[in-house]
Amino acid sequence: MKKYLFSVVTKIILIVITVLFCENVIAQNSQMPQSRNPFWQKVQFGGGLGISFGSGYTDISIAPSAIYNVNQYLATGIGLQASYVSSKGYYDSGIYGVSFLTYINPIPQIQLSINLNESYVNNHYESYHGQNGYTDNFWNTALFLGAGYRTGNVTVGLAYNVLFDENDNVYGDALMPFVRAYF
């Protein structure tokens, strides 16, 4: 009987040790969580929002964008834009477009930018002084070359539209200040 009891106790102890050992082995063989795809680790999203109201004046814009950081010196990407501008009793304008973006960082604090922007413009002018109102729809291309000071994810600077035409009724000036952020 003692032998039988010893045999049963020994078997139970061995089973318990085996189960505990197997759990440790299984835990050690579990797969590590997979990291994100390397492509997406280099992608940043950002853009801009704008809203302005005044006496009879409204300006609303949204411009989301995404960039791919090729390396620490170069990023390229694409952006969308939509804006609505209205001056009560005079005109309203809708602008919709796409931008192709390139950012060059010669040093971490300085960012040079190239922004090619293609937009569809829909301007509607109200009638005034006895003249009939009219609508002007057209495509506009802008090429902004800019430079800015960069700190963290935010860049503040100035861009110049080298294709600026004061008769195109899209941009009021060739120079455009900007603030951009990517996360």
The predicted-structure confidence for 70-118, as pLDDT tens digits, reads as follows: 999 999 999 999 999 998 888 899 999 999 999 999 999 999 999 999 9
Q: How many residues does the chain have?
A: 183
Q: Is the pTM of this model over 0.85?
A: no
Quote the tokens at residue 106: 């010669």
> Is the CA virtual torsion 108, 110, 116, 117 positive or negative?
positive
pLDDT at 25: 46
Pairing between strand 110-125 and 74-87? unpaired
| Closest-CA residue to 85 (of 14, 1, 176, 170) | 170
CB 135 within 8 A of CB 125: yes
For the chain, 183 residues long, give each residue's pLDDT as a single digit of tens: 555 555 665 666 656 565 555 544 444 555 656 666 899 999 999 988 888 888 888 889 999 999 999 999 999 999 999 999 998 888 899 999 999 999 999 999 999 999 999 999 999 998 766 678 889 999 999 999 999 999 999 999 999 999 998 887 788 788 988 889 999
| Closest-CA residue to 150 (of 89, 105, 88, 92) | 105
pLDDT at 120: 96
pLDDT at 132: 84
